[in-house]
Every structure is written in C-alpha cells, then in structure tokens.
Structure 1
Amino acid sequence: MNNYTNDNTARRYKAHVSTLGTTQLHLRNPYIIAWWSAAFPGFGHLLLSKYLRGYALFLWEVVVNINAHVNLSMIYSFQGNIDMAKDVLNTRWLLMYIPVYIFGIWDSYRTTIDMNRVYLLAEREDHRFNSFALGAVEINYLDKRNPVLSIIWSLFIPGLGQLYIHRLLTALFVIGWLVIFYYYSHVQEAVSLLVLGKVKEATSVLKPEWLLFIPSHYGFALYDSYINTVENNKLFEKELRAHLQENYQSTGFKILKGQKVM
C-alpha cells in the first residue's frame, strides 16, 4: 500500500479511497445515466457519486409522487381505466413534479458528459491517489471482488451488494428506503398471505402507489453494485500495476516491438 493522499498537489485525481467508500472517475454512457434518472429521479446522480443532488431528487420524487398520485394514475392507465387515471391525479402537486423530473434527466446527462471529459484529463495526468483508508470506525482499501456476488447479494436485499464493495453511503440509503417501501406497500405481508394461498387477501393488502417504487429500487441496486464492482476491479489493477512498475521494475526495462512476419 502507498501513502499518497489527495491533497490538491494534482489538478485532477482519478479516485479517492475513504472510510465511507471508494469514489472514482470512469467513462459512463450518458444515455444510460439519463435513463436511470427517468426510471427514478436521483438514481442517475447516485451512479455518478453526486450524493447530495441524488438524495434531494430522490426525496422529491417520493414526496411529490405520492401526493400527486402519479404511481396510482399509472396503475389505472395500465389497467385501461383512463378516466380514473385522470381523476386521481392531484394537479397542485403534479405541476411541480414535471419540471423537476425533466431537470433530473437533463442534469444527469449533462453531468455525465462533463465527468467523462474530466476523467480523460485525469487519466492523462495520471497522478497517484490514496488506495488505503484507516479510520476509527472503518477500514477501506482497493481490492478485487466478484461482480456476480454483488448481484446475488443485491437480489437478496438491495444494498447488500453495495456493502460488499464498501459503498457505504449508497448502501445505507438503499437499505433505509427499501424498509420504508416495504413497510408502506405491505409487500411482506402480501407475500406471507400468498404463501398461505390467500391470493385475494394478498392482493387487497397491497398499497400499489408504494409498491411501484420497489422494482426500480431493486434494478438500481443490482446495476449500481455490479458496475461499481467491475470499475473498482479495474482501478485496483491499474493502481497495482503502477505500484509494481515504480517499486520493482528496472529503470532500464523496455518492451521492444517486433516486426510482423509476412
């Protein structure tokens, strides 16, 4: 391990390892990030490690969506009850919902493009960064982990995949909101009744306006844990390669390119 710290001696850093997690720059597809913002405002920004902005948009989505009855209107429209879908909407909240929803998509797309440019500059600068963090309550370090295990743990409970790769801020956020969605949707109660064969009762106890949040929550947890495991592995390999070259490779070592034999 090295003693490098991100102390502003370089203009740009590719990554930062802290006790709360590993934050890094890497190339992202702006359309995918924008899609996640469309699926659930805030998710696109969380993928970019823009936590405060992501939390604000996420909270806005939950509060305004519930009060505007957007999810309930969507369910009625899926069932073909267009009149009920229109009647249930609360326009006082809906008119606030639309501008922020569009902003979340636009801002995540714009930010992704900017961060991709910053990554390319940081990659060219190639300044060393800290790879080990030791604190009073946590230890974090670069290491290789299995992306498949991240997916498996996220399937059990969203957030466990993030805990596996030490992405603590996202893990606590995802797990906390999953508990809220489970509680208010009564999905656990419905599953228990379904196992007992009480299908009608299981359906009746569900709160669809809260239930509709859960699929996006699961999908995000799976995608985020998998992508960040893959990128953390790449970062570990780059850092280890640089460390070995700097400390163990002979200064006179050169790789000669051979001529292609026709």
Structure 2
Amino acid sequence: MDNYTNDNTARRYKAHVSIFGTTQLHLRNPYIIAWWSAAFPGFGHMLLSKYLRGYALFIWEVIVNVKAHINSSMIYSFQGNIDMAKEVLNTRWLLMYIPVYLFGIWDSYRTTIDMNRVYLLAEREEHRFNSFSLGALEINYLDKRDPILAVMWSSFIPGLGQLYLHRILTAIFIIVWLVVFYYYSHIQEAVLLLVLGKVKEATSVLKPEWLLFIPSHYGFAIYDAYINTVENNKLFKKELRGYLTEHYQSEGFQIKKGRKVK
C-alpha cells in the first residue's frame, strides 16, 4: 500500500486527491465565506468543500425562494413599488426561508474559523498525502494550472473553470443548475430577440424571478475557480518541495547563516 495514501495513519491531512477532485485545507477569510453564504445560501459551504451541506442549502434556497416569491418582491422593491412587493410575498414559505438563510451565514462563518484551526495543526504535523489518483472513470493528479484560464472558462459558461481544475462534482452541479436557470428565465430567447432588435419582446419573455439567480451563479463560479486554482498551485509546490527534499536532498545538507556585513 502506498505510504502516502490518506488511510488515517495521521491525525490530520492537508489534502486529498481523488478521481472526483482535489479537496484541501487552506486559510480562508470567514467574512468572505459568510458573504458568499449571504449572497446565495450554499456557496459559502461549497467554498469550504462542505459539498453535501452546500448542495442542500443551495437547493433549499432555489425552491423556497421561488415558492415565497422573494426575487419577485425584490424586483418590485427596486422599482419603488413597495405595496406590490409586500403583496407578492408568500409568508408561509417566507417564515421557513429566514431561519435557514441565517443558519447558512452563521454556520459557514463558524466552520471557516474551525477549519482554519485544523489547517494550522495539519500544517504543523506535515504528514504526506496522496497526490495521484487513478480510477476506472478518471485520473487526477496535482499539477500547476493557470488561474486566468480558469476565470476565462468560468466567464464563458460557469462550471467549465471547475472542469479545468478537475473539480468534477462541483462542475456538474454548477452546469446543471445553470441550465435550469437559463431554461426558466428564458434568457437565451431574450438575447436572440435583442440581437434581432426586438427589445420589447426580449423584455417581455424574461422571467425576472429566475433571472436574478444567474449573476450570483456566475460570480461564484468565477471566484471559486480562481481561488481553488491559486490554492492548488500552492499545494502542488509544497508537495513537490517535500518530495524532492525527502528523496534527493543529502541528509547532511544544512543551510548555515552567514555573518552580517557591517
């Protein structure tokens, strides 16, 4: 068995490489994670690689938001039509939405602080982890990638940046929900009509309550792809440095401090 496989021989690992992606611990700003949870419940947890919790909160947000007509109410509020904004709200769903929304923000903030502590402990233990995974369906390995390319592909279609980085599960989740948002918002039809110069028709076919999901979706996909590319590059360098030190550096090698020249 590979001595570097994550087989619980160490108390804490910094990373795990599987055929579905690379999961790693690194320092994160809890306020940024909480902000993403406020922008769209589930995003903060997905940034922390807490995928099951993140997916659950994301799906909850979409279902309850649509049922409570929260986005529609926001649109009327932006237009200054406060009475209509109150009227469209479905309070039966809204009262369920608020506690879960607040929980997502609080839990992502709390979890970030805890995971930062775990990372510092794992960094001190410096236990080696697997850096290559070969399976029947996929191959994944640590490698350097370009953050700009990750941003570029995510800007074209959210999820492509994650595929470039080999974050398979997150990529599939983002792409599937992008299709859902595109379909129900009719944004593709609106763009085609706009290109044809039919501005009024383009505006009329849009479904704003679904359209409002798309900016957050794009923003998260771009941010997630960029941050994880940068952190994966750091992880690759650390892993390679440790391997070269262990296998190629002489045991008697020492770096001596020289005298300061006055």
Letter in 1 for 2:76: Y
Counterpart of 1:16? Answer: 16
Give the Cα–Cα distance (whole angstroms) in 2 for the partners of residues 155 and 3 of structure 1: 40
TM-superposed CA distance for 1:161, in Å, is: 0.1
Counterpart of 2:107? Answer: 107
Q: Secondary structure at the match of 1:130?
A: coil
Give the Cα–Cα distance (whole angstroms) in 2 for the partners of residues 196 and 242 of structure 1: 58
- Which consecutive residues of structure 1, in runs of 5 or more, have no partner in the other structure? none
Counterpart of 2:234? Answer: 234
How many residues of Structure 1 are paired with residues of Structure 2 in the alignment?
Answer: 261
* Runs (4+) off by over 3 Å: none
Question: With structure 2 as the length reference, what TM-score do the two structures score?
Answer: 0.99
Q: Secondary structure at the match of 1:257?
A: coil
Q: Deviations over 1:47-102 (max 9, x none)?
A: 00001100110010000000000000001000111111011100000000000000
Residue 83 (1) aligns with residue 91 (2): no
TM-superposed CA distance for 1:258, in Å, is: 1.8
Give the Cα–Cα distance (whole angstroms) in 1 for the partners of residues 147 and 121 of structure 2: 28
Q: Where do residues 16-35 of structure 1 align in structure 2 (5 Å cutoff)?
A: 16-35=16-35
Give the Cα–Cα distance (whole angstroms) in 2 for the partners of residues 176 and 133 of structure 1: 26
Give the Cα–Cα distance (whole angstroms) in 2 for the partners of residues 236 and 218 of structure 1: 27
Q: Deviations over 1:92-141 (max 9, x none)?
A: 00000000000000000000000000000000000000000000010000
Q: Secondary structure at the match of 1:22?
A: strand
Q: Deviations over 1:198-220 (max 9, x none)?
A: 11100000000000000000000
Counterpart of 1:40? Answer: 40
Residue 211 (1) aligns with residue 211 (2): yes
TM-superposed CA distance for 1:3, in Å, is: 5.5
Q: Secondary structure at the match of 1:133?
A: strand
Counterpart of 2:171? Answer: 171
Counterpart of 2:140? Answer: 140
Q: Secondary structure at the match of 1:75?
A: helix
- Which consecutive residues of structure 2, in runs of 5 or more, have no partner in the other structure? none
Give the Cα–Cα distance (whole angstroms) in 2 for the partners of residues 192 and 177 of structure 1: 21
Letter in 2 for 1:42: G
Percent same amino acid at aligned positions?
84
Give the Cα–Cα distance (whole angstroms) in 1 for the partners of residues 110 and 260 of structure 2: 44
Counterpart of 1:194? Answer: 194
Counterpart of 1:119? Answer: 119
Question: With structure 1 as the length reference, what TM-score do the two structures score?
Answer: 0.99
Give the Cα–Cα distance (whole angstroms) in 1 for the partners of residues 202 and 176 of structure 2: 24
Give the Cα–Cα distance (whole angstroms) in 1 for the partners of residues 19 and 3 of structure 2: 15
